[in-house]
C-alpha cells in the first residue's frame, strides 16, 4: 500500500492551496487526488474575471487564478494524480482511489485534507411543480456546456435564483446571443454579490425580480415557458401569476457542500452548513482529517477559500509533525446567535497556536450600521462596527488571541442591530 | 408483412414481444417515443404486488399472482434489479380491522402465499418508524423492482431473439384488409397478421380504430416524491394503507436503488400527455404519507414526478381478442407492472395457438444487463478496469456509474440514445445532483457514439 503524509482530496483551489501550504510547512510526502483531467476544479469553467483581488492584488479569470496555484504545485514538486476518483475514506485514513491506469487502490495517509467543493441544488430538490422537459439546467451545468463544451443551451432564457453563478450566467448567455428575460429570486434580497448584480444584470438591462418564484413549468418534451408569481412569506400570491415563454431555465438556487465521502468516513456534519464541524485548526471530528473550501462551507470569493485552505494545509503538516490532535487548552464552542447563521470554526482550543483566530460566518438578513459582538458568560469581549452586511457575503473577522484567551466557557457571536 | 405487430413498447408490449419470440413468429414493436418504457411504465411505484387486493376470479388477480412469481424468477435470468422486501398494509382504526381481514381472505382466495395478520406490537417490532397502528397485513411475497430495467430487459431479450423495434413511429390508423391488418403510421404503412394493442393510455384510441364496441381509457395521474438514499432506510418494507376506490393509496417504500419513494396521488384527468406535477398533488402525497410515517424527511426530496395509470372502464384488465386477430391489452393499471410477464405469456399463447405457430428452438431467455460497477468486489472491479479502462473512470459521482457502464448502455441492443435512456439503463443522473454533474459527460459519449453534435443530444 502506498503511504503518504498528506492526501488532499480534490485539486481545486482549496486542495491546491492546502497542499502548497503544507509543503511550505515542511511536509514532503504529499499527494493530491483530482477526478478531472487537470487541476483547477470549478475555476476552469469560470472564465469571467474578478478572481484574485485579495490574494494576488490583481483581477484574474478563474482559469488564470487556478493556474497560479497549479504552477506553485508544480514548482514545489507536489505530486498529483488526475483522472482519479476517491471512492472512500475510512476513519483510519485509508483512502480508496480509482483511475483508468491504476484501477481501484487503497492508499494510507497520515493526514487528509477534504477539499471536494460543492454542487448545485437541482430542480427536483426545489419542488417546482410542472413538467420535466429538456431545457432545464443548473447554472453551473450551463456554464460548463458553454465555456468548456461550446454548446449554447438555448436562445430564450429565464433564471431562477440570484446566486452568483446565476448572475454570471445571465451575462454569459447574453454575450453568447441568447435573450435573458429575467432573474427571479424567492428572497427579498439577492443571494449574489452586489458587483455581479451591477456588472451582469444592470449593465445588460436584465431585470432582477425579488420575492418572485416559478410555480409551474410548461412543455412536455421541450421547455415552453414558466409561470412566475410574486411571493409573500414564502408563499405565492394568487393573482400575481405571469407567464414567461422560454426554451431554457437556469437554476441558481444554492450550493451544497459535497460531503458524501466525509459522512461515510464518520465526520460530524454541521446541519447549518452541511459541512464538517471543525476546530480552530480546521480539523474535523476525526483526528488528522481536515476540511476547507466549499466542502466546509460555501464561500463567496475564491481568495477566502485559498486563505482558509492554507490554514488546513498547515494544520495537517503540524499534525503529522507533532501527532497532536488538539491543543492543551479547554475547548470553547462558538455559538451563533442573533443574526449569525453559522460559524467556521465551530470551536477552538483556548491556547490556539496563532496570534489571531479567523471566524468566518454569514448573516441571516441585511444589517446596516450594526456591530458584530462576541460575548462570553454574558460579558462582551469583542465588538466590530460594520456598515453593511448581507447574506450573500461571507464575513471574516480576525479576533486577537489575547481576547479569546479570556474565554472560559462558550463564546456567543451575534449581530447587534435590526435586520432590514 | 409481419406476423405480429405490438403497439406500444411499455412493459406490457415488451413482455408480449419477448414471449412471442419463443415462437416462430415475426414480431414488430411500434413505439411513438424514442425509447422503450416512456409512458406509464417509467413512472409508477415499482412494486411487485403480492396480489391480495384484486377481486378473486378477475384477470387482475390471476395475472398478478402469477406475475409476482415470474418477476422474481425473471430478475435472475434477465438480470434486472428486484428485491423481495415484503409489504405491510396498515390499518389505523380498530373499527376497520375487518378491512384487513377481508384483504387477507381475498389474498388467500387468490392463492397468495405468505400472508399474515399482525398485531400492533409485531408491526412496531419489524418497522419501528411507523405510526401507531390498529393492525396490519404482512405480505411476504411482495417485492420491489426497477421498472425501467425490467422493461428494458424484456425489450433487449426480445430484440436479441429477433423482434424488430420501430421507435419514433406513431400509429395513425388500422384497417382490415383481407386476412391481415394494414397499419398506417407517420413513417409509412405495413401489413400484419396479428395486432396487439399495448398502447397504455392510448389503448382506447387504438382499440377504437378497429372495434365497433368502443372503450375508454382514463388517465389517472399519480404524483410522487423521490427522496435521497440518505432517507432510503426509513422503512424496509413497502408500506400501504387500506385501499380505497381510487386505488392502493399513498405508499412509502424503499426502491431497489436505495431511495425512498412516496406516492402516488390519484386524480382522473382528460389529457393523456399531462404528466406535470402540481403543488396540490405533491402536498396531498406528503400529507397522506404522514399517516403511515410521521417525520419523513421531505427536505431530502431529490425529484418529483408524475405518471398516468391507464384505467379502463371494466374494473379489470381488458385482455381479449376484441376483433379477429386483434388482441387488446388495455386498462392495464396497477398491478400491471407485476402482471406484465404473465400477460405476455397469456397473449403470446393466445396468438401462437390461433396462428398454429411452432416453438422457436433458438430462443435464448437469458440476458446480461449493464454491469453495476459499484456493486462488484474490489477484485472484480480491477479485473474489469484491466479489461476495459473505461470502467476506471467515474462519470456519475452520485450513483458511482463508470464510463464503461455508460458506453455499454449506449452500444448494447436497443441502446440508449438520450440522457434519460442512459439514466434508465445505468442509474447515471438518478442520484442527488440529478445529472447536473454527469450530463455534459454523458452527452459527449452519446454524441461520439452516434456521430452527432453535442447540442443534438437530447434529455428525452
pLDDT tens across B367-413, in order? 999 999 999 999 999 999 999 999 999 999 989 999 999 999 999 99
DSSP reduced 3-state for B74: helix
Are residues B365 and B387 located together in one domain of the fold? no
Contacts of residue B435 in chain A, CB cutoff 8 Å? 122
Torsion sign, CA atoms B8, B10, B16, B22: positive
Are residues B186 and B282 located together in one domain of the fold? no
Is B297 an 8 Å CB contact of chain A?
A: no
User: How many domains does chain B divide into?
Assistant: 3
Contacts of residue A145 in chain B, CB cutoff 8 Å? 440, 454
Report residue B193 CA to chain centroid gap. 28
Contacts of residue B279 in chain A, CB cutoff 8 Å? 129, 215
Report residue A416 CA to chain centroid gap. 26
Element spanning A347, H or E = strand A347-349
Chain B nearest CA to A77, separation (Å) = 26
Residue A5's contacts (CB-CB under 8 Å, 6 or more residues apart) are A27, A28, A29, A30, A109, A110, A111, A317, A320
> Across the interface, do B302 and A215 touch by the CB < 8 Å criterion?
no
Of B309, B337, B359, the residue that ends a domain is B309
DSSP reduced 3-state for A42: helix
Single out the residue of B339, B10, B20, B11 nearest to residue B194, CA to CA. Answer: B20
Are residues B181 and B236 located together in one domain of the fold? no
Report residue A66 CA to chain centroid gap. 16
Q: Chain B, 260-279: which have a CB under 8 Å from a chain A CB? A: 273, 275-279
Are residues B151 and B137 located together in one domain of the fold? no
The model's confidence at residue B431, banded by pLDDT at 50, 70 and 90, is: confident
Are residues B61 and B195 located together in one domain of the fold? yes
Is B387 an 8 Å CB contact of chain A?
A: no
Cis amide leading into B447 (omega within 30): no
* pLDDT, one tens digit for every residue, chain A (420 residues): 999 999 999 999 999 999 999 999 999 999 999 999 999 999 999 999 999 999 999 999 999 999 999 999 999 999 999 999 999 999 999 999 999 999 999 999 999 999 999 999 988 888 899 999 999 999 999 999 999 999 999 999 999 999 999 999 999 999 999 999 999 999 999 989 999 999 999 999 999 999 999 999 999 999 999 999 999 988 999 999 999 999 999 999 999 999 999 999 999 999 999 999 999 999 999 999 999 999 999 999 999 999 999 999 999 999 999 987 776 678 999 999 999 999 999 999 988 888 999 999 999 999 999 999 999 999 999 999 999 999 999 999 999 999 998 888 999 999 999 998
DSSP codes joined into one string, B407-453 = HHHHHSTT---SHHHHHHHH-TT-STTTTTTTHHHHHHHHHHHHT--
CA A17/CA A68 separation, integer angstroms: 10
Interval A233-269: pLDDT, tens: 889 999 999 999 999 999 999 999 999 999 999 999 9
Are residues B159 and B207 located together in one domain of the fold? yes
Interval B188-205: pLDDT, tens: 999 999 999 999 999 999
Single out the residue of A182, A175, A245 nearest to residue A212, CA to CA. Answer: A182
pLDDT over threshold 70, residue B76:
yes
Are residues B354 and B305 located together in one domain of the fold? no
Task: Specify whether the CB–CB gap between B401 and B438 falls below 8 A.
Answer: yes
Q: How would you classify the pairing of strands B267-268 and B143-145?
A: unpaired
Single out the residue of B153, B291, B272, B294 nearest to residue B221, CA to CA. Answer: B272
- The CATH number of the domain holding residue B267 is 3.30.9.10
B149: Cα within 13 Å, side-chain hemisphere: 25
Cis amide leading into B138 (omega within 30): no
Are residues B210 and B342 located together in one domain of the fold? yes
pLDDT over threshold 90, residue B221:
yes
Task: Specify whether the CB–CB gap between B90 and B130 falls below 8 A.
Answer: yes
Share of chain B above pLDDT 90, in %: 94
Are residues B286 and B299 located together in one domain of the fold? yes
For residue A361, what pLDDT is reported? Answer: 97
Of B369, B389, B414, the residue that ends a domain is B369
Is B34 an 8 Å CB contact of chain A?
A: no
> Across the interface, do B455 and A103 touch by the CB < 8 Å criterion?
no
Are residues B253 and B330 located together in one domain of the fold? no
Chain A nearest CA to B283, separation (Å) = 10
Chain A nearest CA to B224, separation (Å) = 11
For residue A221, what pLDDT is reported? Answer: 93
Give the range of the structural domain holding residue B400, as residue numbers without chain letter.
373-456
Active site residue B49: yes
Compute the average pLDDT of residues B231-253.
88
Query: Which of B273, B382, B433 is nearest residue A122 as measured by Cβ atoms?
Result: B433
The model's confidence at residue B245, banded by pLDDT at 50, 70 and 90, is: low
For residue A352, what pLDDT is reported? Answer: 84
pLDDT over threshold 70, residue B154:
yes
* The three grid cell numbers given for residue B146, joined into one nine-digit string: 426497477
Compute the average pLDDT of residues B268-272.
95
**Which residue ranges form the domains of chain A, and what is each CATH number?**
1-120+254-326 (3.50.50.60), 122-253 (3.50.50.60), 330-420 (2.60.40)
Chain A nearest CA to B425, separation (Å) = 19
The ipTM assigned to this model is 0.91
Taking each helix axis from N to C end, the angle separating B403-411 and B439-450, rounded to the nearest 10 degrees, works out to 40
Are residues B393 and B451 located together in one domain of the fold? yes
> Torsion over CA of A312, A315, A316 and A320, rounded to 10 degrees?
180
Element spanning B120, H or E = helix B120-126
Is B378 an 8 Å CB contact of chain A?
A: yes
- The CATH number of the domain holding residue B24 is 3.50.50.60
CA B7/CA B39 separation, integer angstroms: 13
Are residues B420 and B277 located together in one domain of the fold? no
Task: Specify whether the CB–CB gap between B59 and B316 falls below 8 A.
Answer: yes
- The CATH number of the domain holding residue B435 is 1.10.10.1100
Interval B298-308: pLDDT, tens: 999 999 999 99
* The three grid cell numbers given for residue B381, joined into one nine-digit string: 472491479
Taking each helix axis from N to C end, the angle separating A164-175 and A139-147, rounded to the nearest 10 degrees, works out to 40
For residue B247, what pLDDT is reported? Answer: 64
CA A235/CA A213 separation, integer angstroms: 9
For residue A327, what pLDDT is reported? Answer: 67
Of B353, B369, B385, the residue that ends a domain is B369
> Across the interface, do A152 and B397 touch by the CB < 8 Å criterion?
no
**Cell 503540524 belongs to residue:** A318
- Reduced to 3 DSSP states, what percent helix, strand and coil does chain B have, rounded to the nearest 5? 35, 25, 40
Amino acid at each position: 500500500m502506498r503511504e503518504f503524509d498528506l492526501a488532499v482530496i480534490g485539486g481545486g483551489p482549496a486542495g491546491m492551496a492546502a497542499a502548497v501550504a503544507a509543503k511550505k510547512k515542511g511536509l514532503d510526502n504529499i499527494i493530491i487526488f483530482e477526478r478531472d483531467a487537470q487541476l483547477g476544479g470549478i475555476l476552469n469553467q469560470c472564465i469571467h474575471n474578478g478572481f484574485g483581488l485579495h490574494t494576488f492584488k490583481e483581477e484574474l479569470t478563474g482559469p488564470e487564478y487556478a493556474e497560479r496555484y497549479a504552477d506553485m504545485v508544480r514548482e514545489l514538486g507536489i505530486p498529483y494524480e488526475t483522472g482519479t476518483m476517491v471512492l472512500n475514506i475510512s476513519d483510519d485514513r485509508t483512502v480508496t482511489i480509482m483511475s483508468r491506469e491504476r484501477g481501484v487502490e487503497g492508499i494510507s495517509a497520515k493526514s487528509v485534507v477534504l477539499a471536494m467543493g460543492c454542487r448545485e441544488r437541482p430542480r427536483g430538490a426545489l419542488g417546482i411543480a410542472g413538467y420535466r422537459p429538456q431545457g432545464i439546467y443548473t447554472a453551473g451545468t450551463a456554464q460548463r456546456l458553454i465555456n468548456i463544451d461550446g454548446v449554447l443551451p438555448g436562445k430564450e432564457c429565464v433564471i431562477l435564483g440570484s446566486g452568483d453563478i446565476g448572475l454570471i450566467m445571465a451575462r454569459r448567455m447574453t454575450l453568447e446571443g441568447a435573450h435573458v428575460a429575467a432573474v427571479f429570486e424567492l428572497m427579498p434580497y439577492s443571494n449574489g454579490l452586489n458587483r455581479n448584480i451591477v456588472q451582469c444584470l444592470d449593465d445588460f438591462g436584465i431585470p432582477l425580480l425579488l420575492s418572485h418564484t416559478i410555480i409551474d413549468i410548461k412543455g412536455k418534451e421541450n421547455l415552453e415557458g414558466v409561470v412566475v408569481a410574486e411571493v409573500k412569506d414564502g408563499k405565492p400570491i394568487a393573482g400575481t401569476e405571469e407567464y414567461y415563454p422560454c426554451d431554457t431555465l437556469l437554476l441558481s438556487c444554492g450550493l451544497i457542500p459535497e460531503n458524501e465521502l466525509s459522512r461515510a468516513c464518520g465526520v460530524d456534519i454541521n446541519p447549518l452548513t452541511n459541512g464538517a464541524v471543525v476546530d480552530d485548526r480546521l480539523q474535523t471530528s476525526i483526528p488528522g482529517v481536515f476540511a476547507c473550501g466549499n466542502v466546509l462551507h460555501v464561500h463567496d470569493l475564491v481568495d477566502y477559500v485559498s486563505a482558509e485552505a492554507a490554514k488546513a494545509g498547515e494544520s495537517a503538516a503540524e499534525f503529522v509533525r507533532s501527532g497532536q490532535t488538539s491543543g492543551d487548552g479547554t475547548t470553547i464552542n462558538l455559538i451563533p446567535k442573533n443574526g449569525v447563521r453559522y460559524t467556521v470554526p465551530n470551536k477552538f482550543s483556548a491556547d490556539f497556536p496563532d496570534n489571531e483566530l479567523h471566524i468566518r460566518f454569514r448573516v441571516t438578513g441585511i444589517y446596516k450600521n450594526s456591530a458584530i459582538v462576541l460575548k462570553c458568560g454574558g460579558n462582551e469581549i469583542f465588538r466590530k462596527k460594520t456598515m453593511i452586511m448581507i447574506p450573500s457575503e461571507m464575513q471574516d473577522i480576525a479576533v486577537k488571541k489575547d481576547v479569546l484567551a479570556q474565554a472560559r466557557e462558550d463564546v456567543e457571536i451575534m449581530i447587534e442591530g435590526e435586520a432590514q | 408483412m409481419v406476423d405480429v405487430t405490438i403497439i406500444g413498447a411499455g412493459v406490457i408490449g415488451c413482455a408480449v414481444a419477448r414471449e412471442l419470440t419463443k415462437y416462430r413468429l415475426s414480431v414488430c414493436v411500434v413505439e411513438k417515443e424514442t425509447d422503450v418504457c416512456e409512458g406509464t411504465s417509467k413512472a409508477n411505484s415499482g412494486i411487485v404486488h403480492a396480489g391480495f387486493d384484486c377481486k378473486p376470479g378477475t384477470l387482475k388477480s390471476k395475472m398478478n399472482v402469477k406475475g409476482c412469481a415470474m418477476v422474481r424468477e425473471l430478475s435472475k435470468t434477465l438480470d434486472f434489479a428486484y428485491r423481495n422486501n415484503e409489504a405491510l398494509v396498515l390499518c389505523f382504526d380498530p373499527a376497520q380491522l375487518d378491512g384487513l381481514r377481508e384483504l387477507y381472505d381475498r389474498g388467500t382466495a387468490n392463492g397468495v402465499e405468505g400472508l399474515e395478520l399482525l398485531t400492533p406490537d409485531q408491526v412496531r417490532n419489524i418497522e419501528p418508524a411507523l405510526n401507531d397502528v390498529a393492525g396490519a397485513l404482512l405480505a411476504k411475497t411482495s417485492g420491489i423492482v426497477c421498472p425501467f430495467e425490467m422493461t428494458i430487459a424484456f425489450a433487449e431479450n426480445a430484440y436479441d431473439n429477433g423482434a424488430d423495434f420501430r421507435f419514433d413511429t406513431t400509429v395513425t390508423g388500422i384497417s382490415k384488409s383481407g386476412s391481415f391488418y394494414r397499419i398506417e403510421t407517420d413513417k409509412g404503412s405495413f401489413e400484419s397478421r396479428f395486432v396487439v394493442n399495448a398502447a397504455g393510455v392510448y389503448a382506447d384510441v387504438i382499440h377504437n380504430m378497429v372495434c365497433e364496441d368502443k372503450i375508454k381509457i382514463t388517465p389517472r395521474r399519480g404524483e410522487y416524491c423521490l427522496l435521497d438514499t440518505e432517507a432510503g432506510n426509513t422503512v424496509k418494507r413497502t408500506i400501504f394503507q387500506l385501499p380505497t376506490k381510487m386505488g392502493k393509496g399513498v405508499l412509502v417504500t424503499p426502491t431497489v436503488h436505495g431511495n425512498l419513494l412516496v406516492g402516488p396521488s390519484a386524480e382522473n384527468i382528460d389529457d393523456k400527455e399531462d404528466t406535470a406535477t402540481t403543488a396540490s398533488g405533491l402536498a396531498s402525497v406528503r400529507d397522506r404519507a404522514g399517516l403511515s410515517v410521521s417525520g419523513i424527511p421531505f427536505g431530502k426530496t431529490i425529484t418529483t414526478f408524475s405518471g398516468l395509470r391507464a384505467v379502463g372502464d371494466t374494473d379489470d384488465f381488458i385482455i381479449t381478442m376484441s376483433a379477429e386477430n386483434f388482441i387488446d391489452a388495455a386498462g392495464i393499471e396497477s398491478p400491471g407492472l407485476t402482471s406484465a410477464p404473465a400477460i405476455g405469456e397469456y397473449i403470446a399463447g393466445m396468438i401462437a395457438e390461433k396462428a398454429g405457430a411452432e416453438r422457436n428452438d433458438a430462443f435464448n431467455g437469458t440476458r446480461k444487463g449493464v454491469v453495476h460497477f459499484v456493486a462488484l468486489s474490489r477484485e472484480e472491479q480491477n479485473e474489469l478496469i484491466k479489461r476495459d479502462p473505461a470502467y476506471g473512470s467515474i462519470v456519475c459521482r452520485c450513483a458511482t456509474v463508470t464510463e464503461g457502464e455508460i458506453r455499454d448502455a449506449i452500444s448494447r441492443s436497443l441502446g440508449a440514445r438520450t440522457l434519460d435512456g442512459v439514466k434508465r439503463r445505468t442509474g447515471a443522473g438518478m442520484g442527488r445532483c440529478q445529472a447536473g454533474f454527469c450530463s455534459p459527460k454523458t452527452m459527449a459519449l452519446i454524441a461520439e457514439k452516434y456521430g452527432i453534435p453535442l447540442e443534438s443530444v437530447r434529455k428525452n
